[in-house]
Structure 1
Amino acid sequence: MRPRLAPPKRIRGRDREYAVLLLRFYRIFERYADETAVLRRPSRALEAQGARLGEITRIEVRRNRLHVEGWAEASRIGLSLGHATAWTAPELPRPGSAERGFSIDIPFVPGTPALVVERGTERFEIALPAFGPMVRFWARHRLWPGFALVLVSLAPAIWAWKRHGDLTARETVKERLNIVPRPDGAEMAARLFSDGPRPAPRHRAATLVMPVYNARELLMEALDRVERHTDLDWRLVLIEDASPDPEIRPLLRRWCADPARAERVTLIENESNLGFIGSVNRGFELARRWPDDPVVLLNTDALVPSNWLSRLLAPLDDDGVASVTPMSNDAEIFTAPAICRRHDLAPGLADRLDAAIARLDADALNAEGPTGVGFCMAMAPRFVAKLPGFDPVFGRGYAEENDWCQKAVALGGRHVAAPNLFVEHRGGQSFGSAEKLKLIERNLQELARRHPGYGAAVQEYIREDPLTTARLATGLAWAGLAQEAPVPVYLAHAMGGGAEHDLQRRIAAETKSGRSAVVLRVGLPRRFALELHAPQGITRGRTADEGLLADLLGLLPRRRVVYSCGVGARDAAALPDLLLRISGRGEAALPGGPQPVELMMHDFFPVSPSYTLLGGDGHYHGVPRGDGPLAEDKAHRYERPGGVVLPLAEWQARWGALIAAAERVVTFAGSGRDIVAAAYPEAADRIAVVPHDTHVLPPRIAPGGGENGPVIGVLGNIGYHKGAAVLRDLSRQMSRSETGRIVVIGQMDPAYPLTRPSRVHGSYELRDLPGLVARYGIECWLIPSVWPETFSFTTHETLATGLPVYAFDLGAQGEAVARAVAQGAPGGVLPLPRPGEMSKDLGRLARDIAARGRRVAS
């Protein structure tokens, strides 16, 4: 007879605490695994019905999505999995082929995906490798050892977060656990400007080698600039390469015949066209007459500024430096404002930009790179003697200077920039004919064969960008000079969410119009990240040095300081003074006089350190004021680094000084205006209500049908203030009464687990919603937020679906739902449960929402 098992003992006391703690760690691991685990399938040919349609270069599952990339000769590509289908048009051209590149992704569910290829009137459906539940299970659980090591290393940061409420430590933990992965840029240099004049470079003369082929007008400007702007002794070797333009050679002869130039300039005339390499090598041969002097390779489209040569040669005082390249608008890894993003300059701008960066400390900002760039490149005499020319194997030219630089590296040489010199490169960006494209491809293959590690070194340099500080300085100076309107400088946090979406939308509008924007980001492990968003791309660096930030932002003669959000800053009480300083006010103000200031109230941080206005008991009790009863609540006091506690009255005095300097304070809903006006009545006439732009909204969606009771959808990432405790208790009530379930489309704080059958879907994109509503049978939406939101994107997104939406009668979310219901939309505004009664009525709340949703759906 089988023995009877004793009933399990109830978990009590400390055992229960351990169980809860383990469950929380497991839920954190699940989130970590969602963001970290990657499932891959090998690349494969894209074939159907015996026909080759292209190839798939990547199939992988990451961050809860299936990604497929490849090449195809098709007008449209579709990807299907589960209830969802996504479409894209291949756009990236593939040299020498009719195929075009595509990249497509879709929410992941275990199953067999299918790729649909449409080509004219033809349609092909190809089954892709399946991803079964067990494969995903093992891929996730292989991460346990790494997860444990990360947790151990994060122990001090976790302690600082949980014991002292350090929000910067919290963001460090989230970033290391891949919960909020984000780049925060390279570490910036400690110093920007030199303390005094640089000593004269050791090399006091140089031989300039300039090959010439057509480009008459540009040629004469380049020669004129060499003559007027070169501040050291120089000689020039011109190699005229049989230009088709019949006026080039006579023009050069007349220019060189001038007695003032006769001793400086040598003209070599090729009997036939030798190409770039053949011409340059003739110039190098002549330069051997002066073996102790550097050689400067100079294109006819390189327009040098005043006093350029001494700055270009200065790094050659270091015997280990083989080549020096200046910063430019078109110099590959030495391009500013964004690396490898060429752009054209307005007339005269390059000279003004060079003057702005001439004071930069070249020694502090310099960094070794994998190569020089030959449009304007100084070459050390020691390395020219060992490598006296470019290799003719590269034909008429392309990649020859990269080959030379790699050979110099093998001899112990280094390649650096002249970060305090900007040379305009007014060259063409087109590769030209098919013949030239083939030459480039052949030369790149030869370069890769000779120097196998070169390509990886370039990619690492681009990824790490050790020249970040110089690039940012040049880019900021360029932005300040290139645009008439003041450059917006946003102070923003690093926590994502609606404030970040709004910030990115504003920046996109600036860059689309050809303007730049700057973001000073707080809440990162390195205190500050400075980002320059230019039309060419983004350059970002990190620092803890407020003085360096001031020097960099001082390169903007006109600034518009905009507070977006400072939550998570290491010392948020210091932010108002910092912003006043950046705006040209207060002690140690930046130059330029007072600049315009604006505050955007994405939350209520300037009102209280509790930026959601929730009290210490987790509930909203109204607007706190420094002279009111809520000021005694510990949630409305701020602990600065070092343990100094700031009372609410002083907090509001500091932020009030910034608000007093602001031209306007922007709120995004009437309820937010009322709260800010209650805290700062003196600013009431400068508070504007400007709702966010919500033009990117999901389509109307038919309600799903839950098989086991109604399904309430919750959209977005849910923490405590967004209603995590409400959902935890509500799911428990629904499970007990079997009245349906909750599905969170987004992530949820692991400290508030849902009771089955309720569940958390994970990461999503708005375009996924129709498929997810069908997949889970969602019939209505609940906005469970328990704080007075300043604006709720998820509320507007759920209202756009046409399904019933319910929210508490609080803040912008309640305001939006009440307005929609008044206009005939389904849903309703619910009373916010009072403290101590949050759980009491949740069962009835679930039944009421479900009943209303079912009535509307029917």
Structure 2
Amino acid sequence: MIVYLRRLEGLFQRFDRARPGIPALNARARLQGADGRDVARLERALHERRRLAVSGQSEAPWVELRVGERRTRIERPAGALGPVPFALALPLEDGEAPEAAVSAGGAPVRLRFPPRWRVQTMRGADFAWRMLRLVPALVGWALTHDPRHRGTVKRMLDLEGGDRFGPLPHDLFAPAPPDADLPPPTVILPAHDGHDLLVACLDRLARHTTGPWRLIAVEDRSTDPRIRPLLEARLPELGAAETHLIAPAENLGFVGAVNAALEAREAKGWDGPVILLNSDALVPRDWLPRLLAPLADPSVASVTPLSNDAEITTVPTICMRHDLPPGAVDRIDAALAALGPATAEMPTGVGFCMALSGAHLAQVPRLDPAFGPGYGEEVDWCQKVRALGGRHLGLGRLFVEHAGGVSFGSETKRRLIQRNHRTIVARYPAYEGEVNVFLEDDPLRGPRLAGALAWAGAVAPEGVPVYLAHWLGGGAEIWLQRRIARDLGRGRPSAVIRVGGTARWQVELHAPTGVTGATTEDAGTVAALLALLPRRDLVYHCGVGDPEPLEIPDLLLRLRQPGDGLRVLMHDWFPVSPSYTLLDASGRYRGPVGAGDDDPAHRAGRAALAEWQAAWGRLMEAADTVILFSEAGRPILERAFPGLDPARVQVRPHALPDPETFRVLDPPRAATPEAAVLGVLGNVNHHKGADVLDALSAEGARIVVLGEVDPARPLRRAITVHGGYAPSEIPALVRRHGITHWIVPSIWPETFSFVTHEALATGLPVLGFDIGAQGWALRAAQNGHPVPFGEDPARDLRAALAQLQEVPACAG
């Protein structure tokens, strides 16, 4: 009973540490500038374990965070338009109760936090409720040790990182809806300068617009003398049934220009839908019937397509604009055109390319002149029409390129956005909350993900990496995130197929602007999505935790098309055995395993190890390369797959830590083995040596763990558990805890062991078992001390420590 209570206590401690921090009671406060006007707003203020962090939106020249006498400030980026995000943080000591304030030029706002006891009480209640709901998963784990149940516990308690997304719509790849039977639409095209983009806009209108349509263009007193002659010459050539050019005597601005066109439309007696089209919008083939189709529903007031710069309909990442390479719009749109209905209700349309219902336009026939030259006028119109029952849809099966806001200079645009944003907030107080809900839920996630994948294929024609990865974190996930970041730095996006989550599959697209993703239960849908990439570099990264792991090799082989690359990365030994650490049923490592081994730990349900290795062997033999991260892995791979061509196997160690970052200057020293303080880097569980640490502690060893401890295998209370750390903090933590030696207590043959290399880089003596990659690294290092791995690992480690006698803190 005591053991279970300790496990429960350890689980709650991890749950508590994983909370996002204590939010300030006034975390949504507004900040004033020197003139007393609201210039910024807080959106988040958290008292985390070792830091205070705030973030929000600001129009101020700077925002400052102060904790006691410590200050940090962030300046507004030069040329930024409208409210821009800010984020500030200051470090805290453990248990520090911060006296903090945030300011933006005016009176500081002092942050107020609830009492710690109240927070702990609420978290305890939350933890108890979650544990009650987890009873089936906990029982399943106790009976079967199935990784699915363990993953469920971690997800329910928020103990795993990563982005999480909702499900794909069931009709994403359903047949497209029929065209709408509507009167001919009127395209309204205001133009002000931007000659080259206007030429491109008109060229695409002429080539790609089908069916009957009308056009009203407004030449809004451009400073470029080429604009009016261009419109006069090109309008008759566009293929519209009727065209009309308005050339006002003075500049009207976008709102005035649109209203003038709407008045002209009424005067001509033209009915039917209206399409507002910016002069920098580049339409694809057959765009018009797709844009109009949702208006067949009389409740729909407006329709907005996806784009590269259209706020909540932006691809690949919501609300994050970016430029497209030439021709990308057509490749992206061709992928989206094959989707099903693919619509979602939105709080507003986006006016760069927006279809308006004729019936709803009759209810609100003009844009509000209060919005002056432009920006926010479509939000105002949409809110008025919503109040009358109209709905606004985002359309996922059409992509229109928005080449940029060319109608106004950047400073003018910034002032307009600031002013008009304040007007919208004052008129429609619920609007911002509705937008935030849309951003969190992203009901357009399906077509947005499809568009993001098509975008990735357009910007990386040489091939997009597609990783099959798990949810369990650890060193493999660190490697993956670093590799994705490296590729993004080179302009190359990446896709990830996640397994082991609540849903069978999660597909993610990582772009420089963020991550877009969605889940599905259907492998066919995964294949259909990834088929949007014309060329893929398929990478098996790690499949631990997947409920049907024998399906993974066949899925990757099914996804591979001619010209695709295929690599297998051995971050662990999962392709070798369901026991990915190679520990047997007694929890021991007994050497490499082959098809003839019949230990229960190496079975997957009814599938024997021979069946397992045959399935994974097909993937290994088809791969271009199988990558090990240490020479120590070759014997293990050769035993499992004796027919694998050795030429396909490559050893590519990870980048080693920078000694200047990790080296400990003037480290603590131990005059005798008894005085040693043994440090352990990284998280600890059974295969990471929890039994070894407990045995050493029971003999009086002083041990400090810099990492987390698996609640299912808590350590003795005498062992100090520091918790998570950043690699750059290691030298300071060594001095803080008086660490004199490192031990690497892992009892499985690691495939690389980041923590072994980090420990060696500090210069302190490092002891660990002479198995796997950790043993290989210890043998190669001057301050490494490999220990034979016998029947009693803790005894072997104690003996090795005793043999060191008086060991200097920096060996050699």
Contact 1:323–1:372 (8 Å) recurs in 2: yes
Residue 21 of structure 1 aligns with an amino acid whose one-letter code is Y
Find the aligned partners of 2:204 and 2:785 in 1 and give their Cα distance: 72
Secondary structure of the 1:510 match is helix
Q: Match for residue 122 of structure 1? A: none
Q: Name the structure 1 match of 2:36.
A: none
SS class of match (1:220):
helix
Mapped to 2, the partners of 1:346 and 1:156 lie a distance apart of 51
466 and 37 in structure 1: CA distance in 2 versus 1, 3 angstrom threshold: closer
CA distance, structure 2, for counterparts of residue 387 and residue 56 of structure 1 = 32
Q: CA deviation at 1:138?
A: 5.3
The aligned counterpart of 2:695 is 729
Which residue is equivalent to 2:3? 20
Matched residue count: 787
Secondary structure at the counterpart of residue 643 of structure 2? helix
Shift of 1:304: 1.3
Give the alignment of 1:615-630 within 5 angstroms. 615-627=584-596
Say yes or no: does 1:689 pair with 2:640.
no
Is the alpha carbon distance of 1:791 and 1:372 closer, same or farther for their aligned partners in structure 2, counting shifts above 3 Å? same
TM-score (norm 1): 0.85
> What is the 5 A alignment of 1:788-827?
788-821=749-782, 825=783, 827=784
* Residue in structure 1 matched with residue 735 of structure 2 by the alignment: 774
> 2:207 matched to 1:228?
yes
Against the structure 1 CA distance between its residues 176 and 359, is the aligned structure 2 distance closer, same or farther, given a 3 Å change threshold? same
CA shift, 1:802, in A, is 1.4
**What SS does the aligned partner of 1:539 have?**
strand
Pair 76,428 (structure 1): closer, same or farther in 2 beyond 3 Å: same
Secondary structure (helix, strand or coil) at the match of 1:749 reads: coil
Contact 2:593–2:640 (CA<8 Å) still a contact in 1? yes
**Would the alpha carbon gap of residues 292 and 520 (structure 1) be closer, same or farther in structure 2, given more than 3 Å must change?**
same
Q: Do 2:46 and 2:52's aligned partners in 1 also have CA atoms closer than 8 Å? A: yes
Q: Which residue in the other structure is 2:469 paired with? A: 492
Q: Which one is further off, 430-439 or 661-670?
A: 430-439
Over aligned residues, Cα RMSD in angstroms?
Answer: 3.4
Match for 1:207: what amino acid? T
Q: 8 Å contact 2:213–2:241 — kept in the other structure?
A: no
Distance 1:616 1:311 in 2: 59
Residue by residue over 1:89-141, the C-alpha shift from the partner in whole angstroms, topping out at 9 and shown as x without a partner, is 846549799x9955235475124669999xxxxxxxx9x9999xx96465334
* Cα distance in 2 between the residues matched to 1:489 and 1:785: 31
Q: CA deviation at 1:606?
A: 0.6
SS of aligned partner of 2:323: coil
Map 1:540-555 → 2, pairs under 5 A: 540-555=517-532
- For residues 263 and 430 of structure 1, do their structure 2 counterparts lie closer, same or farther at Cα, with a shift above 3 Å needed? closer
Residues 856 and 359 (structure 1), Cα distance of their counterparts in 2 relative to 1, 3 Å cut: closer
CA distance, structure 2, for counterparts of residue 73 and residue 213 of structure 1 = 30
CA–CA distance in structure 2, aligned partners of residues 535 and 31 of structure 1: 32
The one of 600, 603, 610 aligned to 2:569: 600
Change (3 A) 1:192 1:102: closer
1:163 maps onto 2:149 in alignment:
no
Alignment of 1:344-383 (within 5 A): 344-361=323-340, 363=341, 365-383=342-360
1:746 counterpart = 2:707: yes
1:419 and 1:633, CA in 2 relative to 1: closer, same or farther beyond 3 A? same
SS in 2 for 1:186: coil
**Aligned CA distance change for structure 1 residues 517 and 26 (closer, same or farther; 3 Å):** same
Q: Which residue of 2 aligns with 1:147?
A: 127
Distance 1:548 1:281, change over 3 A: same
Residues 257 and 748 (structure 1 numbering): CA distance in 2 closer, same or farther, change over 3 Å? Answer: closer
Offset at residue 845 of structure 1 (A): 5.5
1:447 corresponding residue in structure 2: 424
Residue 394 (str. 1) matches residue 374 (str. 2):
no
**Paired position in structure 1 for 2:34:** none
Q: Residue 568 and residue 457 in structure 1: after superposition, are their counterparts in 2 closer, same or farther (change >3 A)?
A: same
What is the CA–CA distance in structure 2 between the aligned matches of 1:524 and 1:105, rounded to whole Å? 34
Q: Do residues 520 (structure 1) and 497 (structure 2) align? A: yes
Q: 2:319 aligns with which of 337, 340, 345?
A: 340
Is 1:349–1:482's contact at 8 Å kept on the other side of the alignment? yes
Separation (CA, whole Å) in 1 of partners of 2:97 and 2:133 = 39
Give the letter for the 2:13 counterpart.
E
**How many Å separate the matches in 2 of 1:663 and 1:317?**
51
In structure 1, what residue type is equivalent to 2:276?
A: L
CA distance in 2: counterparts of 1:130 and 1:268, whole angstroms: 57
Amino acid at match of 2:575: P
Counterpart of 1:9 in structure 2 is none
Do the aligned partners of 1:732 and 1:754 also contact (CA within 8 Å) in 2? no
Given the superposition, is the C-alpha separation of residues 756 and 155 from structure 1 closer, same or farther in structure 2, using an over 3 Å criterion? closer
- Quick check: 1:107–1:764 contact (8 Å CA) kept in 2? no
Q: Deviation at 1:155?
A: 1.3
Partner of 1:322, secondary structure, is strand
Tell me, yes or no, if structure 1 residue 700 matches structure 2 residue 666: no
1:271 maps to which of 233, 240, 249? 249
Q: Deviations over 1:62-103 (max 9, x none)?
A: 3x332244799999999899xxx9x98846549799x99552
Is the alpha carbon distance of 1:453 and 1:704 closer, same or farther for their aligned partners in structure 2, counting shifts above 3 Å? farther
Deviations 1:536-587 (A, max 9, x none): 3211111111111111111122112110111011100111111110113xxx
- Write the letter of the residue equivalent to 2:323: D
Once the two structures are superposed, residues 821-843 of structure 1 have per-residue CA deviations (whole angstroms, 9 ceiling, x without a partner) of 2xxx3x41112241xx3455665
Following superposition, the deviation at residue 760 of structure 1 comes to 0.7
CA distance in 2, matches of 1:112, 1:45: 23
SS of 1:143's partner is helix
1:719 matches 2:681: no
Amino acid at match of 2:364: L
What is the percent sequence identity of the aligned residues? 44
Q: Residues 654 and 96 from structure 1, CA distance in 2 versus in 1: closer, same or farther, beyond 3 angstroms?
A: closer
Conserved 8 A contact 1:520-1:529 = yes
Aligned residues of 2:313 and 2:319 also touching (Cα < 8 A): yes
Stretch of structure 1 that moved more, 692-701 or 314-323: 692-701
Deviates further, 540-549 or 223-232: 223-232
Residues 1:840 and 1:38: Cα distance change in structure 2 (over 3 Å): same
Q: Which amino acid aligns with 1:694?
A: L
1:186 aligns with 2:166: yes
> Which amino acid letter does the alignment assign opposite residue 699 of structure 2?
Q
Q: In structure 1, give the amino acid aligned to 2:602.
A: H
Give the structure 2 partner of residue 61 of structure 1: 47
TM-superposed deviation, 1:508: 1.5
Residue 282 of structure 2 is aligned to residue 303 of structure 1: yes
TM-score under structure 2 length normalisation: 0.90
Give the SS at the match of 1:491. strand
Distance in 2, Cα, partners of 1:810 & 1:526:
36
Show the counterpart of 1:583.
Answer: 560
Q: Is the 8 A contact 1:213 1:243 kept in 2?
A: yes
Check the 8 A contact 2:161/2:473 in 1, yes or no: no
Aligned CA distance change for structure 1 residues 341 and 696 (closer, same or farther; 3 Å): farther
Partners of 2:62 and 2:252 in 1: CA distance: 43
- Map 1:80-229 onto structure 2 (within 5 A): 90=74, 93=77, 103-106=88-91, 108-111=93-96, 136=116, 139-195=119-175, 198-229=177-208
Question: Which AA in structure 1 matches 2:2?
Answer: A
SS of corresponding position for 1:682 = coil
SS at match of 2:576: coil
Q: CA 1:796 to 1:113, structure 2 compared with 1: closer, same or farther past 3 Å?
A: farther
1:251: how far off? 3.0
1:703-760: CA deviations, max 9, x gaps?
24699943211111111111112112222222xxxxx511111101124333343211
Q: CA deviation at 1:209?
A: 0.8
Measure the CA separation in 2 of the matches of 1:367 and 1:526.
22
Counterpart AA for 2:232: R
Check 1:314–1:499 CA distance in 2 against 1; reply closer, same or farther (3 A cut).
same
**One-letter identity of the residue aligned with 2:95:** P
Q: Helix, strand or coil for the counterpart of 1:729?
A: helix
Alpha carbons of structure 1 residues 254 and 77: separation in structure 2 relative to 1, 3 Å:
closer
